[in-house]
Copies of this chain bind each other. A is one copy, B any other.
Amino acid sequence: MNAEIIAVGTELLLGQILNTNAQFLSQKLAAIGMNMYYQTVVGDNADRLRSAIETAQQRADILIFTGGLGPTKDDLTKETIALAVGSSLVYNDDALRSIEEYYARTGRTFTENNKKQALVLEGSVVFPNDHGMAPGMGLRRDNKTYILLPGPPKEMRPMYDSYVEPFLLPLTSKETLHSRVLRFFGIGESQLEETLQDLIDTQTNPTIAPLAAEGEVTLRLTAKHASKDEANRLIDNVERAILDRVGEFFYGYDQDSLQGKLVSLLKKTGMTLASAESLTGGLFSEKITEVAGVSSFFYGGVICYSNEVKQHVLGVPAGVLETDGAVSEASAALLAENVSKLLKADIGISFTGVAGPGELEGKPPGTVFVGIAGKGMKTLVVPLKLWGTRQQIRERAMRYGMYHLYKKLEG
């Protein structure tokens, strides 16, 4: 079984957008043991798309299309596939209903051309679009499988995970790959790799692949076995050997995130939280409130971007701002303590520092202090020396804050 990705869109040929869908799908297909030999990009042109389909039919078992399912005239992926495989297009009631509901919900005026999005290939399995209007499709015809997916990544990615992978799995080889990702924070990629070098070099099943993500390091353990349980047993053994060495930096698995782990720990402890953000400008609070249902423990915060707000709203004395400065251990401590009092929360967390590009108070970009305070708790201030662009420094500060708050609540 081998797959070919055919991305449809003139905007790709003009370089207006980057073909991130191809990378996403390639990773997903590799993970389920699906081979891929070719990828194609073709514009919004029926004849050339038709010929790309015919070329792919010669060399692939599974043709995966992204893009060209929208409402406009130049969206012609399904129309062209219908001609190529001798199928026809029929209206799908569920899709039609969800499109009409979408317009009802948003109060926007329904335009006729949107109905086009509810047309599907006759005899195809329809994949609902939980994040947009155009549904996806899976069609088996003459020993070939045709998968049609919308172009916008925000629609395509969840559709693949929820509906397409389960549709494809029966087609993949018996001996499939099973992966587990171990997530670490506070240790560099090279340091992690050095510590585990002998394991990484000698391991074959599962393999150990280090991967540096933004602000953290992950290890992907991938075992090849017909039985999922046996694969997991193989992975368990290697995981134990790894955590014996670097367990202190380990925080979670697979889709775990610092954000998610911190939120569930706060829910468990029943402690309430408030934030005081200077250099992060709201980034920490925004990440916490990305998760639904945090209002039970997250009261809110103060974005104290200017010193006036630090002084008049959060009560950092002018003297401290003059002598120690806004970017200091003293300010970080007072911001954390006072925001917890002002918002009547059990814990206050503060972020103050220099995001750059320029210096502040004679302190270089990357100088950051994170404060954690609360009733019956000795105030903790973590001084950080971060590197990177302005936005990287802000994001790393936010992540270190989550990490240290998590460790403090956990310990």
Q: Which of B106, B303, B392 contacts A154 (CB 8 A)?
A: B392
Judge if A400 is at the interface, Cβ distance under 8 Å: no
- Chain B residues near A298 (CB-CB < 8 A): 305-306
Judge if A173 is at the interface, Cβ distance under 8 Å: no
Q: Which of B43, B55, B108 contacts A191 (CB 8 A)?
A: B108
In the complex, the 6 A-B pairs of residues with the closest C-beta atoms, listed nearest first: A282-B282, A281-B289, A15-B26, A15-B27, A282-B285, A39-B41
Are B299 and A387 in contact (CB-based, < 8 A)? no
Are A300 and B289 in contact (CB-based, < 8 A)? no
Judge if A107 is at the interface, Cβ distance under 8 Å: yes
Chain A contact residues, majority secondary structure = mixed
CB contacts under 8 Å to B, within A370-409, are 385-392, 394
Interface size range on A against B: 35 or more
Judge if A283 is at the interface, Cβ distance under 8 Å: yes
Copies in the complex: 2
How far apart are the CA atoms of A86 and B276 in the complex, in Å? 57
Tell me how far the C-beta of A408 lies from the nearest C-beta in chain B, rounded to whole angstroms. 21
- Chain B residues near A391 (CB-CB < 8 A): 290
Partner-contacting stretch, out of A205-213, A242-250, A256-264 = A205-213
Contacts beyond the supplied A15-B22, A283-B286, A302-B302: 5 A-B pairs with Cβ under 8 Å: A10-B209, A15-B30, A19-B19, A301-B305, A308-B343
Judge if A105 is at the interface, Cβ distance under 8 Å: yes
